[in-house]
């Protein structure tokens, strides 16, 4: 760490403290912003010497990162942005708070993955899914796929853990030399009806798919799951009983375990660790309300709504929907 870097971190720490004591928030963003303003290379300095897993995708980033951090914790201390601040400033704050952690599990916004990877040189990059989300800020999904593909090409030594059920993420990872394919599920297919490489039609047959215009098809997964077990390489079969509901979270867990195993975690220990995760920054939390118990689910786009609604107990007395149509995530109403 350079002298300038240490000074930048000290200033960022002071800003974070000031934010907390004045009741303006946890300070994850302001601390990182101050440090980055004083030293633009601070993210790379903080990432140096760590074995890092970067997790990205439209939906499931926070949950999968939380599971990945739990699985990595079986190997040692882990730095992670548990608060979900997934852009540069939040990453700087997360790494600064765990200077001695040799491992890191970082949730990263899709469009930030290329330059974040250039800074921290991740050992593993996890690609979850891509669908339409915040078009006013993020942009068209085929552009995101091409951006990810170009960013991955600059890191040929990284292991890419990719969801082979998602056409767009498969395309982003298809040319990488070290890919671990996971059948993590792809219930929302409305945003991948055409091939991102040729523009031709994607033909689906059960869980398989292929492009009619190029040699581009669903890879054979090395990891997959059912309602009871997780299956992996060399005949690995492990019972997987998660604390979180929904098929989508079994897919998230499968990718988290595959990523941790790629860094040397024991598969059984990794599965046990991800199974302990029961809430993620309030998501999936159960709250007593008088004589009833409510579970909080978060959805922010059509694909997320589909998965959230699939988790609703059909025998539940009722469903309450709250819409947060604020500027940071888009005014939806």
Per residue in 209-247, pLDDT tens? 999 877 899 999 999 999 999 999 999 999 999 999 889
Q: What is the pLDDT of residue 251?
A: 97
Q: What is the pLDDT of residue 171?
A: 96
> Distance (Å, rounded) from C-alpha 95 to C-alpha 52?
11
Contact 127, 56 (CB under 8 A): yes
Q: What is the pLDDT of residue 28?
A: 75
Q: What is the pLDDT of residue 134?
A: 55
> Distance (Å, rounded) from C-alpha 12 to C-alpha 14?
5
Are 137 and 244 in the same domain?
Answer: yes
Are 22 and 79 in the same domain?
Answer: no
Sign of the four-CA dihedral 300, 304, 308, 309: positive
Does position 76 have pLDDT exceeding 80, yes or no? yes
Q: What is the pLDDT of residue 133?
A: 64
Beta-strand pair 202-205/208-211: antiparallel
Q: What mean pLDDT is predicted for residues 89-108? A: 96
For the chain, the average pLDDT equals 89
The percent of residues above 90 in pLDDT, for the chain, comes to 64
Q: What b-and-e string marks burial along 217-250, b requiring 16 or more CB atoms within 10 Å of the CB?
A: bbeebbbbbeeeebbbeeeeebebebebbbbbbb
Are 126 and 60 in the same domain?
Answer: yes
> Distance (Å, rounded) from C-alpha 195 to C-alpha 137?
24
How many angstroms separate the Cα of 68 from the Cα of each of 60, 178, 193, 260? 12, 19, 30, 6
pTM: 0.89
Q: Which residues contact 160 (CB under 8 A, 6 or more apart)?
A: 124, 125, 126, 127, 152, 173, 176, 178, 179, 180
Are 196 and 50 in the same domain?
Answer: yes
Are 242 and 203 in the same domain?
Answer: yes
Higher pLDDT, 268 or 140: 268
The percent of residues above 70 in pLDDT, for the chain, comes to 91
> Distance (Å, rounded) from C-alpha 176 to C-alpha 30?
36
Are 248 and 298 in the same domain?
Answer: no
Q: What is the pLDDT of residue 16?
A: 86
**279 in a structural domain:** no
**Phi (first) and psi of residue 332, to 5 degrees:** -90, -10
Are 31 and 124 in the same domain?
Answer: no
Does position 289 have pLDDT exceeding 50, yes or no? yes
Are 109 and 249 in the same domain?
Answer: yes
Are 67 and 20 in the same domain?
Answer: no
Q: What mean pLDDT is predicted for residues 260-275? A: 98
> Distance (Å, rounded) from C-alpha 319 to C-alpha 296?
10
Residues spanned by the domain of 199: 41-274
Confidence label for 136 from pLDDT (cuts 50, 70 and 90): very low
Are 28 and 45 in the same domain?
Answer: no
Q: What is the pLDDT of residue 292?
A: 77
Q: What is the pLDDT of residue 330?
A: 56
How many angstroms separate the Cα of 311 from the Cα of each of 174, 197, 298? 31, 34, 11
Does position 127 have pLDDT exceeding 50, yes or no? yes
């Amino acid at each position: 760490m350079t002298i300038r870097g240490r000074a930048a971190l000290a200033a960022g720490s002071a800003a974070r403290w000031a934010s907390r004591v004045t009741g303006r928030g946890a300070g994850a963003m302001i601390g990182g912003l101050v440090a980055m303003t004083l030293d633009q290379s601070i993210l790379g300095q903080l990432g140096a010497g760590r074995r890092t897993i970067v997790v990205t995708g439209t939906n499931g980033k926070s949950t999968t990162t939380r599971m990945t951090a739990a699985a990595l914790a079986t190997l040692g201390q882990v730095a992670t942005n548990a608060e979900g601040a997934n852009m540069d400033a939040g990453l700087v704050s997360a790494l600064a708070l765990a200077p001695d952690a040799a491992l890191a599990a970082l949730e990263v916004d899709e469009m930030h993955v290329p330059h974040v990877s250039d800074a921290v040189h991740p050992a593993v990059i996890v690609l979850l899914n891509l669908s339409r989300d915040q078009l006013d800020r993020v942009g068209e999904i085929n552009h995101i796929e091409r951006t990810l593909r170009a960013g991955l090409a600059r890191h040929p030594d990284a292991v890419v853990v990719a969801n082979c059920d998602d056409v767009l993420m498969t395309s982003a990872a298809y040319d990488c030399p070290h890919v671990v394919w996971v059948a993590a599920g792809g219930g929302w297919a409305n945003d991948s009806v055409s091939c991102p490489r040729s523009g031709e039609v994607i033909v689906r047959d059960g869980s398989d798919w292929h492009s009619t215009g190029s040699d581009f098809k669903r890879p054979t997964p090395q990891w997959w799951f059912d309602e009871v077990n997780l299956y992996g390489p060399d005949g690995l079969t492990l019972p997987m009983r998660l604390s979180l509901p929904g098929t989508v979270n079994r897919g998230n867990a499968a990718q988290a375990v595959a990523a941790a195993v790629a860094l040397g975690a024991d598969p059984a220990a990794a599965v046990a660790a991800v199974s302990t995760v029961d809430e993620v920054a309030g998501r999936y939390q159960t709250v007593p309300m008088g004589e009833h118990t409510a579970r909080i689910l978060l959805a922010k786009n059509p694909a997320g709504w589909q998965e959230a609604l699939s988790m609703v107990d059909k025998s539940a007395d009722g469903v309450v929907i709250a819409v947060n149509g604020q500027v940071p995530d888009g005014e939806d109403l």
